[in-house]
Structure 1
Amino acid sequence: MNDSDDDATQLSAHALVALQEFYLDQQKKQYAEFNSYFVGSIEENWQLSQFWYSGETALRLAQEAIEAAGSGGRIACISAPSVYQKLKQLWNEEFSAILLEYDRRFSVYGKEFVFYDYNDPLNLHEDLHPHSCDIVVVDPPYLSEECLSKTALTVKYLTKGKILLCTGGIMEDLAAKLLSVKMCKFLPEHNRNLANEFHCYTNYESRLDLDSIV
């Protein structure tokens, strides 16, 4: 073996190491991106009345939203970041999702994050056109008539028809009046126990009305 052969072998070894480092870096980036979508990767802020769903509930609601949206469907999550996060874990090219949220920490999700303040319910990003979402999943942050009434304006603006609402049992009558939704049998659970009885409501025939988490 001559000197030029030695140089080629060394170059090849260096190139292999560089390639391995590149792939490792890519894997780390992909892992970090996937990990950022885990429920709880952004901690609850109780001052903003944030209470994340359990992993099982987030999965069930995400699966329901995907099925309801249909192939090529668009899903909007209003004040429901843990459902959005689970949707991103399940993501494939058959649906898309956006998150409307007041907490700007969720802007790490890039263009799919839309700043949203229920106090100004129709002040939305210009790309959010009327009736542009196949289903809206919504969890108003406060159990109050004002919060639900204002949030309902956003829901009706965005949805093509289907609504999946998660809120307290005390809001049942108002929810039915504003959004024509009915309470489902499925009982959503949170990572932390809530003092208020919590329910899911839909305005369409849903698998959530078949059973609850066992």
Structure 2
Amino acid sequence: MNDSDDDDDIRLSAHALAALQEFQLDQQKKEYAGLSNYFTESIEEDWQLSQFWYNDETALRLAQEAIEASGNNGRIACISTPSIYQKLKQLWNGEFSAILLEFDRRFSVYGNEFVFYDYNYPMNLHEDLQPHSFDIVIVDPPYLSEECLSKITLTVKYLTKGKILLCTGAVMEDLAAKLLSVKMCKFLPKHNRNLANEFRCYTNYESKLDLDSLLNI
């Protein structure tokens, strides 16, 4: 066997490895999408836990925003936003990662991407969650109260490298600005069921959620 044959073998091996990796990634994407679809259909809102799912269009838009804002190989932390996390799993392409911090243990099916979270104990976090280790934190506090937002703020500031996407009632605008330095976006999020309180999104960075063209998705 001459040097040319050796080179051909190396090229074949590299090509075979790349093909295998592409196949494995495709299989993972299908598994994640299937799992996400299953739980989107099977897990219903629990109003006792103050759960209100976003409609599909809103969940998709917020997931896309989080992916873009997190950058290449970004890390996304979803706090009390399971419907957005599920949409992220459907969109997963191997170029970002996401975890879900959630009180509802039904979502523990997501394995080590699920972290039990109780906002009453905002710094009682898993040891694997290092400070400032997520490119963006997207959060929807379960209650419209100063106590709830104030406690969750501690978690958000601990986890984020800087970017924050907050979803909560319009009545929380002043407190949100004070605690998290976020501004209300023009984008109007919608839920599967109508809420009594006006609901809005807030960011502390320049976001496409503030473009007029996104007002009526």
TM over 0.5: yes
**Cα gap change, 1:148 to 1:34, in 2 (>3 Å):** closer
Letter in 2 for 1:84: Y
* Aligned mates of 1:72, 1:121 — CA distance in 2: 26
* Aligned mates of 1:213, 1:42 — CA distance in 2: 27
Residues 1:98 and 2:68 are matched in the alignment = no
Alignment partner, residue 11 of structure 1 = none
Alignment partner, residue 213 of structure 1 = 216
Q: Normalising by structure 2, report the TM-score.
A: 0.83
Alignment partner, residue 155 of structure 2 = 154
Q: 1:159: how far off?
A: 0.2
Residues 1:35 and 2:37 are matched in the alignment = yes
Which residues of 2 match residues 41-80 of structure 1 at below 5 A? 41-80=42-81
Q: Deviations over 1:25-61 (max 9, x none)?
A: x9xx9475242353x4311000000000000000000
- Bigger CA radius of gyration: 1
Letter in 1 for 2:88: L
Q: Deviations over 1:108-158 (max 9, x none)?
A: 111100000000000000000000000000000000000000000000000
After superposing on structure 2, the runs of 4+ consecutive aligned residues of structure 1 that deviate more than 6 Å are none
Q: Normalising by structure 1, report the TM-score.
A: 0.84
* Aligned mates of 1:205, 1:41 — CA distance in 2: 36
* Aligned mates of 2:37, 2:205 — CA distance in 1: 33
Determine if contact 1:37/1:88 at 8 Å carries over to the other structure: no
Q: 1:92: how far off?
A: 1.1
Letter in 1 for 2:139: V
Over the matched positions of the two proteins, sequence identity in percent amounts to 81
Instruction: Give the secondary-structure state (helix, strand or coil) at the position aligned to 1:61.
Output: helix
* Aligned mates of 2:206, 2:35 — CA distance in 1: 34
Determine if contact 2:170/2:198 at 8 Å carries over to the other structure: yes
Alignment partner, residue 122 of structure 2 = 121
Determine if contact 2:36/2:87 at 8 Å carries over to the other structure: no
Letter in 2 for 1:179: L
Letter in 2 for 1:146: E
Unaligned runs of 5+ in 2: 1-26
Instruction: Give the secondary-structure state (helix, strand or coil) at the position aligned to 2:162.
Output: strand
Unaligned runs of 5+ in 1: 1-25
Which residues of 2 match residues 80-95 of structure 1 at below 5 A? 80-95=81-96
**Matched residues, number:** 186
CA RMSD across the alignment: 1.5
Determine if contact 2:36/2:86 at 8 Å carries over to the other structure: no
Letter in 2 for 1:57: T
